[in-house]
Structure 1
Amino acid sequence: MASLMNTRRGRPSKGQRHPFTVKLDMERAVKLVELLGILETSGVEFLTPIIEAHLDSIDLDEVRHQEALPIARAS
């Protein structure tokens, strides 16, 4: 007889995740909540692909080696 502890139910895991919290001004928060209601989705489901796409577009090597702007050096 198979152990119930080894039986997985629901969708498969996507691996480890790290939660982040953001604070929106009230106008944007109200707009987001209304949009989520219209789309019948959660904030996580709506925002995750947007943040993933934005992060995927960033070249960390370029950001790490970015020089200071000449104006900052002059002051």
Structure 2
Amino acid sequence: MSEEIRDEGRAQGRAQGQAEGLLLILQARGIALTDETREKISTCTDPQLLHRWLTRAATATTTEDVFTEDH
């Protein structure tokens, strides 16, 4: 297995972990998620964007608070 493939797999794993964490935080905060929102989070592979969403989710009261700047 080449190092490039291994690095890509690690990045995908990190993104998946961030997405799962984001869904968990939103659920714990009692923020209702649509299927569309779940899909948006689950299919995102940009670690910087997921990090931004995670940061916002910590204080969000709605999904709009999480995604506001991304429209």
* TM superposition score normalised by structure 1: 0.25
Larger Rg: 1
* TM superposition score normalised by structure 2: 0.26
Identify which of structures 1 and 2 has the higher relative contact order when contacts are C-alpha pairs closer than 8 Å and 6+ apart: 2
Higher helix share: 2
